[in-house]
Amino acid sequence: MTRPSATTLGAGITGLAAAVLLCVPAPAQAHGIIDLGSVDAVAGRTSTMTLEVQHGCITNATGTLQVEASVGRPWRRVAPQPVRGWTVGVQRLPSGGQQITWTKQGEPHPFGTPVFFPIRVTWPQKPGVYSMKVVQACPGDVTTWGTPPGPATANSPSPPITPIPQVKVLPAN
């Protein structure tokens, strides 16, 4: 599966993070994929999802140094699992959301090699579609997936070049 591509933003890393299942082919640049591991996200329940960053930043073909994933207030709990060669931290955001930051130890993660970040999630209490923003930093480059989905217009493709990952949380039975 290929994720819609991302373009470069020239600011520092800030963000809110990751989850999506709407996969539509688009020109490949850097992109993130969320995999729920064949387990539905159910309101109020806990399960594991995996954020996959498929490769480094395209603009300068460099490896990944840091990935941030942020979620808003409705998300109840995120607990990143360890990934060899990466340190991880979670902080509460002033808005009530949470931000996970993975930082590569040593050299950047190789450009053409995917990296997988498992996250244990307690889903929001109410069913619905929830967005997360992912920011990837490489030497001299930052890529953000944060553009809301929408129809194509004269100046904007559909799906967008930098789509915000989303996950559909189903009602509890």
Residue 22 has pLDDT above 50, yes or no: no
pTM of the complete model = 0.77
Q: What is the mean pLDDT of the chain?
A: 81
pLDDT in tens, 112-132: 889 999 999 999 999 999 988
Residues 6+ apart with CB under 8 A from 53: 30, 31, 32, 64, 67, 114, 115, 117, 134, 136
Residue 21 has pLDDT above 80, yes or no: no
What is the CA angle 145-27-80, rounded to 5? 35
pLDDT in tens, 28-68: 444 668 899 999 999 999 999 999 888 887 777 889 999 99
Q: What is the pLDDT confidence band of residue 12, given thresholds at 50, 70 and 90?
A: very low
Cβ atoms of 72 and 131 within 8 Å: the answer is yes
pLDDT of residue 60: 76
Q: Which domains does the chain have, with CATH numbers?
A: 8-154 (2.60.40.2230)
